[in-house]
Chain A
Amino acid sequence: MNRVPTEDQQLCTFFVAGRTFGAEVSAMREVLTAQPLTRVPLAPQQVRGLINLRGQIVTAIDLRERLGFPPCDGKKAMNVIVEGDDGLVSLLVDEIGDVVVVSADDVEPPPDTMGDRARDLVRCVYKLEDKLLLLLDIEKTIAEVE
């Protein structure tokens, strides 16, 4: 696991299917409330649709689907906008959490027992006081699924 960070860093946290995920603050562009989605027929499964972000068209990825969790029970999803290598991508999450500072001392590789799909996208796990925080590999998350 050479992708495990060695320094303290600031993470923006969000919740998907009851779990806490984090991503480097530097990777995030902004956070939005639920947006009208345009469905894209024939698109890959994880693509929920397109949103209009001030004139830019942003692909919205359903993180539940991407991570292999069951679909959301109809609640409106929040948008976490991140920058991909060919434009902006929105990650649909259940809820947005705080920005937290995590220490490199608390880091562990993702446990082997995690679901395959999720483990592939989680770079490491931070042991916070009251919960575990999974650091999401944004680049992989928004990459094409073969």
Chain B
Amino acid sequence: MSDQSEMDEVIAEFLVESKEGLDRVDDDLLTLEKDPSNRQPLASIFRAVHTIKGTAGFLAYERLQSVAHAGESLLSLLRDGERAFDPEVATALFATVDALREMLAQIENTRTDGSKDYSGLISDLERLLRTSAGPDDEAAAAPAPPPSVAAASRAAAPAPPAPAAPSAKPAEPVVALPRAAPATPVAAKPAPPAAPEAPSDDGGERDAGAGRPPGPSGATTTSGAAPAGETSVRVDVALLDKLMNLVGELVLGRNQILQFAGLREDPAFQTTSQRLNLITSELQENVMKTRMQPIGNALHKFPRLVRDLALICKKQVRVEIEGENTELDRTLLDAIRDPLTHAVRNSVDHGIEMPDVRISRGKNPEGLLLIRALHQGGQVTIEIIDDGGGINAERVRDKAIARGLITPEQAQRMDESDLVNLIFLPGFSTAEQVSNISGRGVGMDVVRTNVERVGGTVDVTSRAGKGATVRIRLPLTLAIIPALLVGQGQENYAIPQLNLVELVRLEGDLARRGIERVQDAAVYRLRGNLLPLVFLDQLLSGNGSRPAEILDREVVNIVVLTAEERQFGLVVDRVADTAEIVVKPLGKLLKNTAVFAGATIMGDGSVALILDTAGVASCASLTSKTAKRLLQLNGQTGADARKDATVSLLLCDLAPTRTVAIPLQTVVRLEEVPRAALERLGDSTVMQYRGDILHVLDLGGLLLEAPAADEAPFRLVACRTAGGRQFGLLVAQIRDVVNRPSIAPLAVPRPGLLGSVVVDNRLVEVMDVARIASETIAFASDTEVAA
């Protein structure tokens, strides 16, 4: 039962989308008729028809699909310039659009695409495909309505363009039906509501779901026929936009009045402004809600879609959806439907391998497609993750070169992640065969165009043999968000609270001493973790190197922020207040300033910029590479696509003259410990650490047999063995983190050493600390047990 209603929802959605698509196709065809050389409308028509074809396929509307497919094939020729756009083609395409509309109307009423025979139209389209040279003798019969007539007749609605179907089966008029005879659904069962709905003429189809078809009959549909419930009204999104903007301004006005109210003693004014405050907040909340929809609305069709798709491809695919309750502005939701569909289709069609291939690669024969939506860093991120074969960067490169999308020289300069992202170029498709599902060279470019239109970004990361992730990031425009206001110099800035972790204020001595440095990067020890610091003034001045005196402050305010799973501290002059702010986008001149996500108007009418946490983090990392390394060091970096390609090593001094390297992946944390913290337990050195007993190795003592001076505090490197046991290493000084493509093996292997790397023209040994530890500590714990 619920399955049925879910299905109905999917179909209703498909109908609305398709009809909107066809409306645009109408416009585009007319544009194209006027100017056949204009390629833009052609691409748009192609996409619309492509989408209809695809979805029709999943919903098992075979007639609809076959007509759309025939139309698409013809469009494909046009797009590739292999056929000229002439009146005959135009007529046929209009006829296709009409036929599609007719079937959509049929579906709306009877849930089937009818039994009407469109073979005439299809054969017509196919004939046009074959006679791709241009108008010839055979075509002479068809172009009866010259373009202008066709256009005019469409405008005049009742007279449809004459079907270009001289060879059509005589049984059915091919396209004449939809308008000429509204009440003659050829389908077997003429459902009662069919009459008013079926015509679906130019004015009517926009109204897909509404219960007030302005069709010619004017009759309202009866009882069960209204596709939408009686409690809802379709409202133009533009109107909601306007409401939203007005409420935004009302909020600002309210804020200003509240400021006045604070200065005045008049109780009546106080009460009134309080009421205004409450009402405005509620109004704002509700207007917001009218625009928000859980993303699940756009996602719930995918399991079915993927299932059908998998059947066609003879693959096994399981779909998982996470974060379906993530709310998204309605305009954004609309904008990502298409891109998501294409991306999912691509993942199934190209990403996930055939079951036998998967088995031979040691994977579960059933592929996994994970669609995940989440709010992240003031953005909505939607990820489509498959565990298929990944994207073959070399094949992408070769294809892109072969198609002339890039030159071989350009390709040389691109790394793997650049290469895989070439799939977003228009006209790119790696599928060898034109399949019914994807692989006509539309798809990923549609994804990108649509996402970028709403100010989002899309990228793909691929792990060879393990799968690919398409990540769509959408901005939060239009939103009213809680924010923290901070001051820097003369200006105030807003930081979305979503990214805020905590506030740290250092005063006096702490302010002067609390901030330490690793290389040239400033860090603060937040409960034992090194927190990389970004100075807002330095960041905004665009000045990379920062004079040391900045650290000599009486008070240091650190705003601890999280961006893309990393934490960092932003040092600001003042922490002012929290406020609800209306995010307003910046003009295009400022689009490239990644540090700002937008601007807002404060209660006093001044403009404040909104800091983009992710942008701040990436800007800061650029100016200070060490900070970035520290971020990695803290183990909080999640998705560094290229991490696999290099080995990160922590450089430590054991003594002033002796530097060794430790693979960063074994390092858990860095600490400074006073010597007094070390205790003896049997033969081994231990310390109490986070409520546990940590075995500690004195690397200097082990390697140099000359422990460092007794009174100096140690740096402790907390590490983890392969078995997951923690241990500590004592070193004199922590120097840096370096990345190297590989570790050079030793000519003569020595236990405890992995090899060597070159740092600053000097060879540095890479210690196999995990191994050293497991040998030493195993021994130590044995004695412990014995004791």
> Do A40 and B606 contact each other (CB < 8 Å), given the known contacts A50-B599, A55-B601?
no
User: From residue 59 to 99 of chain A, which have CB atoms closer than 8 A to chain B?
Assistant: 59, 61, 84-87, 89
Q: In the docked arrangement, what's the CA distance between A41 and B587, Å?
A: 15
Q: In the docked arrangement, what's the CA distance between A144 and B540, Å?
A: 21
Judged by a CB distance under 8 angstroms, whether A142 is at the interface is: yes
Q: Could you mark each residue 36-56 of chain A with 1 if its beta carbon is under 8 Å from any beta carbon of chain B, else 0?
A: 101111111011011110111
Whether the pair A51, B607 counts as a contact (CB closer than 8 A) is yes
Q: Which A-chain residue is minimally distant from B619 (CB atoms)?
A: A42
Judged by a CB distance under 8 angstroms, whether A27 is at the interface is: no
Q: In the docked arrangement, what's the CA distance between A47 and B134, Å?
A: 53
Q: Which A-chain residue is minimally distant from B598 (CB atoms)?
A: A57
Contacts of A89 in B (CB 8 A): 587, 589
User: From residue 398 to 436 of chain B, which have CB atoms closer than 8 A to chain A?
Assistant: none
Whether the pair B606, A59 counts as a contact (CB closer than 8 A) is no
> Do A57 and B606 contact each other (CB < 8 Å), given the known contacts A40-B590, A42-B540, A144-B589?
no
Contacts of A40 in B (CB 8 A): 590, 593, 596, 609
Contacts of A55 in B (CB 8 A): 245, 248-249, 252, 601
Q: In the docked arrangement, what's the CA distance between A142 and B590, Å?
A: 11
What's the nearest-Cβ distance from chain A to residue B576, in Å?
15
Whether the pair A57, B607 counts as a contact (CB closer than 8 A) is yes
Q: In the docked arrangement, what's the CA distance between A42 and B605, Å?
A: 23
Q: In the docked arrangement, what's the CA distance between A85 and B589, Å?
A: 11
Whether the pair A57, B601 counts as a contact (CB closer than 8 A) is yes
Judged by a CB distance under 8 angstroms, whether B584 is at the interface is: yes
Whether the pair B593, A52 counts as a contact (CB closer than 8 A) is no
Whether the pair A87, B593 counts as a contact (CB closer than 8 A) is no
Whether the pair A142, B589 counts as a contact (CB closer than 8 A) is yes
Q: In the docked arrangement, what's the CA distance between A50 and B585, Å?
A: 12
Whether the pair B542, A42 counts as a contact (CB closer than 8 A) is yes
User: From residue 504 to 551 of chain B, which have CB atoms closer than 8 A to chain A?
Assistant: 540-542
Contacts of A39 in B (CB 8 A): 490-491
Most chain A CB neighbours (cut-off 10 Å) among B490, B542, B593: B593
Contacts of B606 in A (CB 8 A): 36, 38, 52
Contacts of A54 in B (CB 8 A): 249
Judged by a CB distance under 8 angstroms, whether B588 is at the interface is: yes
Judged by a CB distance under 8 angstroms, whether B586 is at the interface is: yes
Contacts of A47 in B (CB 8 A): 589-590
What's the nearest-Cβ distance from chain A to residue B11, in Å?
37
Q: Which B-chain residue is minimally distant from A37 (CB atoms)?
A: B607
> Do A84 and B587 contact each other (CB < 8 Å), given the known contacts A39-B491, A42-B542, A52-B601?
yes
Whether the pair B588, A86 counts as a contact (CB closer than 8 A) is yes
Whether the pair A42, B607 counts as a contact (CB closer than 8 A) is no
Whether the pair A41, B589 counts as a contact (CB closer than 8 A) is no
Contacts of A44 in B (CB 8 A): 589-590, 592
> Do A43 and B593 contact each other (CB < 8 Å), given the known contacts A38-B609, A55-B248, A59-B587?
yes
Judged by a CB distance under 8 angstroms, whether B319 is at the interface is: no
What's the nearest-Cβ distance from chain B to residue A89, in Å?
6
Q: In the docked arrangement, what's the CA distance between A55 and B248, Å?
A: 8
Binding site for B on A (CB under 8 A): 36, 38-44, 46-47, 49-52, 54-59, 61, 84-87, 89, 142, 144
Provide a sorted-by-A list of 23 A–B residue pairs whose CB atoms are within 8 angstroms. Answer: A36-B606, A38-B491, A38-B607, A40-B596, A41-B540, A42-B595, A43-B590, A44-B589, A44-B590, A44-B592, A47-B589, A50-B586, A51-B607, A52-B601, A52-B606, A54-B249, A55-B601, A57-B584, A59-B589, A87-B585, A89-B587, A89-B589, A144-B589
Q: In the complex, given contacts A40-B593, A41-B541, A57-B586, what are 19 additional A-B residue pairs having Cβ atoms less than 8 angstroms apart?
A: A36-B606, A38-B599, A38-B608, A39-B490, A40-B609, A42-B593, A42-B595, A47-B589, A49-B607, A50-B586, A50-B599, A50-B607, A52-B605, A57-B587, A59-B590, A84-B587, A84-B588, A86-B588, A142-B589
Binding site for A on B (CB under 8 A): 245, 248-249, 252, 490-491, 540-542, 584-590, 592-593, 595-596, 599-601, 605-609
| Top 7 A-B residue pairs of the complex, sorted by shortest distance between their CB atoms | A41-B540, A59-B587, A55-B249, A38-B607, A50-B607, A57-B584, A57-B599
